[in-house]
Chain A
Amino acid sequence: MSALGEKINQWWQLLVAFREKQIRKREEQIYHPFWVMVYKEIADHVRSWRFLIMGALILLTCMGSLYTAVQAMTSQSDQAASATSPGFFFLQLFTSSNGTLPPFHAFVAFLGPLLGISLGFDAINSEQHGRTLARLMAQPIHRDDIINAKFVAALVVISVMFFALTFLVMGTGLLVIGIPPTPGEFLRVMCYFLITVIYVAFWLNLSILFSVLFRQAATSALTSIAVWLFFTVFFQIILNLISSAIVPSPDMAPADQVIRAQHLVMNLSRLSPGQLFSDITTVLLRPTIRTFRPLTLSQVVGAIPNPLPLGQSLLIVWPQITGLVAVTTVCFALSYVSFMRREIR
């Protein structure tokens, strides 16, 4: 008994020594100032109330939607399997719902932008407001490192959070439905995770841009929210108005004219980053979707309704992915330029 206790004690001593060595090593190591700022920013974010609240909100709603998805799958699994694609049980965790709550991907599309905005709207102007920016600039650091660190830190937080959330959903789903994902499904979920991070990064960049442009944190926050509201609510209303104006009645006009008009409306709707994101997630999580265009009967003749490989699904939404990445990059570039050319003092 005492021999065992001694052994455990010995191991414990070793563990403590190792840990102390690690801490000493970290303290001794000289980091690049950029990474110091990133660590500091991450620490600030993780401990801030608004991140905790947003994180808890997203976690709760996503768990709720996961629960409804699992319920929907277990109660009407036959129907669900025949209605969507057979053999893609795992992806249904992210898309199916029994109607009481929206599915997982809808919640992410709705709350993701809010998270991005909340992490970025006071990135620069609060520093300016608290007069810490000038003090920061007095340190021997590059000026662009500040905005880069702000962006990277928020991106790391977002990535970690969605990574954790995705795996939480996958793990819970694995426990409940007991069917492991196929490699194809796993890759699709990983692509979905990456696209989500890019989408949230777009809103983060937008809010950082506003935080550079506006001196008041409240103004930039409200502007960001306004843009988000515009794209989620009003843009759809405007689109409906446009489509009722230009799309002729299918009873009166020739079919190709109707299709052309609808195509135009569809392309207009893709001006909204939210629409781009929902297009991408729909195709990624539903492998049976083969196209976005209005289908003519001649395209369907002879088609075998079976799922697409991941590469082909990605090719379908490649324009959307390009657009999303491009708009995110452009937002970052704008905020970068405006920060660099700005008089700070």
Chain B
Amino acid sequence: MLAYVFYPIGILWMMMSGLKADTVAKATDTIHTRATIRLYTPYTKISVHPGQSITYNVDVTNNSKVTQNVDLWVTGLSPAWNYSLKSGSWDIRQIAVLPGQKESVTLQVTVPLRINKGAYRFYLHAGNGTTLPLTVIVAERGIYKTAFTTDQPNLEGAANSTFTFNTTLQNATADTQLYALNAEVPPGWDLAFKANGYKQVASILVNPNSTQNLTIEVHPPDQVPAGKYRIPVIASSGSTGAELDLEVVITGNYGMSLSTPSGLLSTDVTAGSEKSLKLTVTNTGSASLKKIQFSATTPTNWDVTFDPKTIDELPAGKTAEVKALIKSDKHAIAGDYLVTIRANTTETSAKADFRVTVKTPVLWGWLGILIILVALGSIYYLFRKYGRR
């Protein structure tokens, strides 16, 4: 009603001084909108992480009887925060609402990456009078850098096993980063970075504010001594970088070799008799071997016995001697046979193939020579008896 009274006067005044007229008109608008425009959004206090983006759906309601042109703007946000007002895929500054209707506006606010923990308050203004206070609680401090983390930085195993670390590389900056991946491993060690379905990589591209899973596989050399090894892994781009310390605990490796003192793996034996053979067992690993047992694969009816039968403990790098007694079959035919001798522990085993040449017993040979000598002797006897007559 008041508006109707002042309206003609305002027009008059406007006609008198053109410059002032606009201000007056605005003033009258403000009076009207204060009561008639309402802003509404359900989530007014949101807890977020740095770098996250919040989308508010705001309803602008016109309670008046006339169509209202409503200006929309935001105050209270520092310049680091980005926001946009959108409706129907357009970036808007003003919206017209029909009487008794409401329009939807989307306010998108991006929390900056470098930010302190705390509550941040800002306002969405509509027209002259209506404001919508909004609060964003930043739950943690924004770091604005790279994070390289893993759940399990320490692994333990034997030297011949593969150590697999599952790590996460987080790019918490505003730019896409190309990280070069490096690791400082002791000489002889092998380390591989694998990403995206187990492809081996040397560098990796991470989008801003996203994470990339990296699998790091570490192969220690077989002969590495037992102990704790620290492996620093570095992901670095031009502007940022992160380091992760991995730890590998080697319990030692198991290795054994079986041979003879001279290295000769052949011997001969007369059929049906025995042959003693000296064997050497060497612990080639870095952990001591316990309960070494010996066995042999032989031709049928052969027998191999060992003295001692088992070696209780063999320290790393040490050599022990074992006597093997090979007993051949009485009916073994002359020629070469294969005898395989094995040394076993629960962890590892070693084997040696021996070529055993079987010789026929010479006893029958001597008997044959004796028979021939008897025959020749009888001839000589005949010569002596009948000759020279």
Contact = CB atoms under 8 A, between A and B. Distances in A.
B376 interface: yes
B359 A321 contact: no
Contact of A301 (B300, B334, B336, B389): B300
Contact of A304 (B297, B298, B331, B337): B337
B332 A299 contact: yes
Contacts of B301: 298
B386 A340 contact: yes
Contacts of B379: 329, 332-333, 336
A333 B338 contact: no
Contacts of B102: none
A308 B335 contact: yes
A312 B372 contact: no
B125 interface: no
B386 A304 contact: no
A297 B375 CA distance: 39
Given A336-B379, A336-B386, A318 B368 contact: yes
A20 interface: no
Contact of B335 (A312, A337, A340): A312
Nearest to A307: B335
A291 interface: yes
Contact of A144 (B299, B332, B362, B383): B383
A142 B365 contact: no
A303 B365 contact: no
A237 B263 CA distance: 56
A312 B368 CA distance: 15
Contact of B372 (A291, A315, A322): A322
A329 B332 contact: no
A329 B333 contact: no
Contact of B339 (A291, A302, A315, A325): A302
B297 to A, nearest CB: 8
Nearest to B370: A322
Contacts of A293: 333
A291 B334 CA distance: 7
A64 to B, nearest CB: 34
A306 B336 CA distance: 7
A295 interface: yes
Nearest to B355: A304
Given A291-B333, A322-B371, A312 B382 contact: no
A142 B387 contact: yes
Contacts of B339: 302
A308 B372 contact: no
A198 to B, nearest CB: 11
A319 B383 CA distance: 27
B383 to A, nearest CB: 7
A316 interface: yes
Contact of B334 (A315, A329, A330, A337): A315
A315 B362 contact: yes
Contacts of B90: none
A315 B301 CA distance: 23
Interface string A280-321: 000000000011010111110111101010001001101101
Nearest to B374: A326
B35 to A, nearest CB: 109
A40 interface: no
Nearest to B377: A329
B364 A318 contact: yes
Contacts of B359: 312, 315
A330 B372 CA distance: 10
Contacts of B368: 318-319, 321-322
B388 interface: yes
Nearest to A324: B372
Contact of B336 (A291, A304, A333): A304
B341 to A, nearest CB: 13
A297 B301 CA distance: 11
A341 interface: yes
Contact of B382 (A299, A319, A326, A333): A333
B236 interface: no
Contacts of A131: none
Contacts of A330: 375
A143 interface: yes
B335 A306 contact: yes
A263 B366 CA distance: 23
B337 A333 contact: no
Interface string B317-349: 000000000000101111111110000000000
A301 to B, nearest CB: 5
Contacts of B335: 290, 303-304, 306, 308, 312
B135 interface: no
Nearest to B366: A318
Given A332-B379, A336-B382, A142 B360 contact: no
B299 A301 contact: yes
A337 B382 CA distance: 7
B378 interface: yes
A315 B335 CA distance: 12
B268 to A, nearest CB: 10
Of B355, B379, B383, B386, chain A has the most CB atoms within 10 Å of the CB of B386
A126 B191 CA distance: 101
A316 B367 CA distance: 13
Nearest to B379: A333
Contacts of B378: 329, 333
Contacts of B369: 322
Contacts of A142: 387-389
Interface string A114-151: 00000000000000000000000000001110000000
A290 B357 CA distance: 12
B375 A325 contact: yes
A293 B332 CA distance: 11
Contacts of A312: 334-335, 359-360
26 contacts: A142-B387, A143-B389, A144-B389, A290-B333, A298-B299, A299-B299, A299-B332, A302-B297, A302-B299, A302-B300, A302-B302, A303-B335, A304-B335, A304-B338, A304-B355, A308-B334, A315-B359, A315-B364, A316-B360, A322-B372, A326-B372, A329-B379, A330-B375, A333-B375, A340-B386, A341-B386
Interface of A: 142-144, 290-291, 293, 295-299, 301-304, 306, 308, 312, 315-316, 318-319, 321-322, 325-326, 329-330, 332-333, 336-337, 340-341
